[in-house]
Structure 1
Amino acid sequence: MPGTSSPERASGKRPPIKRAVQSRTVDVQRRILDAAVEVLLEDGYGGATTLRIQEQAGVTRGRLLHHFPSRDTLLTAAAHHLASARVAEMGADQIWPADPAERIDAAIEAMALTFTQGYFWAATELWIAARHNDDLRAALLPGERDLARVIRPGLDAFFGPDLTTHADFDDLREILFTSLRGMALTTAFDPREEPTRRHIERLKKLARSVLLD
């Protein structure tokens, strides 16, 4: 009757059917995003078509377009979805050394590891493509800024509060991040371990000199 409220509405609880639909929607979106990252890594930006992603995800074209109406929106969301999830996971269960110098070394090793993961190379595909694609660049930029705000606290957790309160930590973190990213990009054509290892050791030395001064 008009003016009456259902028990679910009165209690603030959602009906079970509505919760089930929402859960399925989230599952479908996650499946599409995971498939998009896989296709992006396997086939690159040029080969990551919506048809290929649809087949990989095992969904209908209508369902894919319902959740992600454009290819670039989907690919951008996919890369950011994976990156934010993986950075949050990394280091969560790690036992960090109590000694500050050892903690710095372990944190930089963990940072370097993030640039070997699939989400980094998926994002790289998008960055390169965005140089000549205005629509992709417009889709990519806001999410990249949001992602940076998520990644920074995750990286700070690698170092811990005793080190992150140092006056120069923010500047150091940006130097470490951009330097490791640049080093990782060179492995696309020079996969040798030796130059990468030397670079990581240099960054450890730099970080210890700054944070333990």
Structure 2
Amino acid sequence: MAEPSYGDYEARSRVTQQHILDTAVDVLIELGYSGASTLKIQERAGVSRGRLLHQYPNRDALLVAAVQHIAEARVASTGERTVRPKNPGKRIDAAVDALWSMYQQGYFWAATELWLAARSNRHLAEALAPKEQALGATIRTVIDEMFGSDLTSRPEYADVRDILNTSMRGVALTYAFDPRDPSSDPHLAGWKRLARRMLLT
């Protein structure tokens, strides 16, 4: 039997790393920051402690990497799946729907756990800040692509994008204690009207 090649080893390592990151996000969502210990993640992932610590030297490094990796993948996937109608009004509606869907995904709650913990954890805040800045740039790029260059060139566009993001984040947080169907959220129609009014008139 042939010895595994370096490429085989690298492929297995990437699969293991992805599994660890997915598990870390799941544990963070389920148990919160205080409950997402490296031991719990190790047990759930079914990997050795040595393998886990080899990839990530401490819990905060692991959790930050996990949330950022999952978020980048989900944001990119959302952007790829979004229909971009030629009609500007319909494209605005589709982009608002897609943006709102980002706040219904698990990584949003995982990120929220880290944001809250970072308020009183300087080391976590220092690890999280540059990652969040990079992720924010990625999210803005994806949102811009969903709206299209004819709309992003409008003087009011940056304000629209910021208003939508901050408002959606605030509304999404209420789902923590008041879960409901996000597709029928009354704010959704209002966000679309606001975006249309600011970008089309």
Q: Same fold (TM over 0.5)?
A: yes
Give TM-score, length-normalised by structure 1.
0.87
Residue of structure 1 aligned with 2:35, choices 31, 40, 47:
47
Residue of structure 1 aligned with 2:65, choices 57, 66, 77:
77
Residue of structure 1 aligned with 2:16, choices 28, 32, 47:
28
Do structure 1's residue 175 and structure 2's residue 179 form an aligned pair? no
Q: CA deviation at 1:24?
A: 2.0
Do structure 1's residue 147 and structure 2's residue 143 form an aligned pair? no
Do structure 1's residue 165 and structure 2's residue 148 form an aligned pair? no
Identical positions, percent: 52
Q: CA deviation at 1:97?
A: 2.4
Aligned residue for 2:99?
Answer: 111
Q: Give the residue type in structure 1 aligned to 2:105.
A: Q
C-alpha deviations, 1:133-162, integer Å up to 9, x for none?
111111111110111111111111221222
Structure 2 CA distance, aligned partners of 1:152 and 1:20? 36
Q: Give the residue type in structure 2 aligned to 1:201.
A: A
Where does the alignment leave 5 or more consecutive residues of structure 2 unmatched?
none
Task: Give yes or no for contact 2:104–2:172 (8 Å, CA) kept in 1.
Answer: yes
Q: CA deviation at 1:96?
A: 2.6
Do structure 1's residue 128 and structure 2's residue 116 form an aligned pair? yes
Alignment of 1:2-41 (within 5 A): 17-41=5-29
Aligned residue for 1:91?
Answer: 79
Aligned residue for 1:137?
Answer: 125
Where does the alignment leave 5 or more consecutive residues of structure 1 unmatched?
1-15
Secondary structure at the residue paired with 1:98? coil
Q: Give the residue type in structure 2 aligned to 1:54.
A: Q
Runs of 4+ in 1 over 4 A off after TM superposition: none
Structure 2 CA distance, aligned partners of 1:176 and 1:112? 9
Q: CA deviation at 1:52?
A: 0.9
> Which stretch shifts more, 176-185 or 92-101?
92-101
Q: Give the residue type in structure 2 aligned to 1:85.
A: A
Give TM-score, length-normalised by structure 2.
0.92
Structure of greater Rg:
1
Task: Give yes or no for contact 2:82–2:146 (8 Å, CA) kept in 1.
Answer: no
Secondary structure at the residue paired with 1:59? coil
Q: CA deviation at 1:191?
A: 2.5
Q: Give the residue type in structure 1 aligned to 2:42.
A: Q
RMSD (CA atoms): 1.8
